[in-house]
Amino acid sequence: MSKDKPASINSEHVRILAQLLQETDLSEIEYETESLRIRVAKKTHVVTSSAAVASLPPPASAKTPDAPESPPDGTVIKAPLVGTVYRAPEPGAPPFINEGDTVKKGDTLLIIEAMKTMNPVRAPASGTITAILVTDGAPIEYGEQLVIMTP
């Protein structure tokens, strides 16, 4: 880009980038050609006071309103990695498991997508599914409780 004469900005390009930003839930997006560079970013709120941080609500993945206060007795299957959890092998397919289902050791309970790789979460033993603690398509953290099963 020439330092003498700035390139004219096409407002339509900015609108398209802003729409992409909104649709993809990104915080910023940048587009560059030989003669033009456009960067669109959302305003973010940065909290610097430790008192203000203490008053923030817990993250969405911490506890859902439907999650039981104390988990029922049984084996808790936790997330082995960070990713997105899916209850079915593909959109529109029936879920791998439902509450009350009986599973055998090694059966696939859920899949976790991480870095475009589908990772099955398998039953560690045979038993009955007593609780499913995650929502299909939700982001999950390492060690997050996914399923509870009883022998």
Percentage of the chain lying above the pLDDT 70 cut: 65
Q: Return the percentage of the chain with pLDDT > 90, whole number.
A: 43
Q: Phi/psi class of residue 92: alpha, beta or left (left: φ > 0; alpha: ψ in -120 to 50)?
A: left
CB atoms within 10 A of CB 79: 20
State the average pLDDT over residues 71-80.
Answer: 81
- The alpha carbon of 147 is separated from its chain's Cα centroid by a whole number of angstroms, namely 17
Distances (CA, A) of 9 to 16, 42, 144: 13, 19, 46
On whether the CB atoms of residues 29 and 42 are closer than 8 A, the answer is no
Q: pLDDT tens digits, residue range 66-75?
A: 544 454 578 8
22 pLDDT more than 90: no
Q: At residue 65, does pLDDT exceed 50?
A: no
* Single-letter residue type at 142: Y
Average pLDDT for the chain = 76
Backbone dihedral angles phi then psi of residue 139, each to the nearest 5 degrees:
-75, 140
Determine the CATH number of domain 75-150.
2.40.50.100
Where in the chain is CATH 2.40.50.100?
75-150
Query: What pTM was computed for the model?
Result: 0.52
